Amino acid sequence: MSSKPIKGIILAGGLGTRLRPLTRITNKHLLPVYDKPMIFYPIQTLVDAGIHDILIVTGGNNAGDFLRLIGNGKDFGLDRINYAYQEGEGGIAQALGLAEPFARGHRIVVILGDNLVEKGIVPGVRKFQQLDKGALVYLKKLADPRPYGVPVFKKGQIIDIEEKPKKPKSEYAVIGIYMYDENVFDMIRTLKPSKRNELEVTDLNNAYIKKGQLHHEVLPGWWADAGESFEALLETNQMVARTRKNPTS
């Protein structure tokens, strides 16, 4: 168990081509979700979990919009927010590697900038804090997990994660919330580019599995991958609106 504070990283790069023409004028993570920009939700998730030292990794032609919108994070009670820039689209693990100067020697909690959760991640962060080493991923039970990384279980432990399998071996998806120990950047350097010529987060998680160091937590409440499609963005807006109007339901 590390005595150093956990740092938070939000990955908000990419070109957002699935949401064009909306993303011709700004980054997809700045699009509105009900009454707030999308990026506000993962920031608040980290802050609510007690993580106040945060880096946003962005990219594309509209990275400056983040600074104009968020500034130093005073809307979240923060003294500052850090920024890094990803050139092109090299994959989640490659984007995460850009955070090394910010987080070297610290444990990290990583959230994809278009992932929204209803109930927060406090239980997972507490569980992660108790680990001597390794990583923790959040899972969500889905009717169709095929578009995501799908865990394979044996005796309650994840023994493999299959990326976008045609025949999933479980009903769970690995969602965009990951927690890693201080060795994560060394692990990233061992990865090889995938067929998409990207460094894949599934390969990173499987590297932890090979070391017997991957843990998991199942997410309660709803989860949204808001930037996946126009339909997902609309549905996320509707879920947030219902939750805001009926907070105890």
The 10s digit of each residue's pLDDT in 16-30 is: 678 788 778 888 899
Q: What is the pLDDT of residue 24?
A: 80
Residues of the chain predicted below pLDDT 50: none
Q: What is the pLDDT of residue 227?
A: 85
Q: Tell me the CATH architecture of domain 7-245.
A: Alpha-Beta Complex (3.90)
Q: What is the pLDDT of residue 140?
A: 95
Q: What is the pLDDT of residue 64?
A: 84
Q: What is the pLDDT of residue 16?
A: 63
Task: Please write down the HEC assignment for all residues of the chain.
Answer: CCCCCCEEEEEECCCCHHHCCHHHCCCHHHCEECCEECCHHHHHHHHHCCCCCEEEEEEHHHCHHHHHHHCCCHHHCCCCCEEEEECCCCCHHHHHHCCHHHHCCCCEEEEECCEEECCCCHHHHHHHHCCCCCEEEEEEECCCCCCCEEEEEECCEEEEEEECCCCCCCCEEEEEEEEECCCHHHHHCCCCCCCCCCCCHHHHHHHHHHCCCEEEEECCCCEEECCCCHHHHHHHHHHHHHHHHCCCC
Q: What is the pLDDT of residues 70-90, one digit of tens each?
A: 988 999 999 899 999 887 666
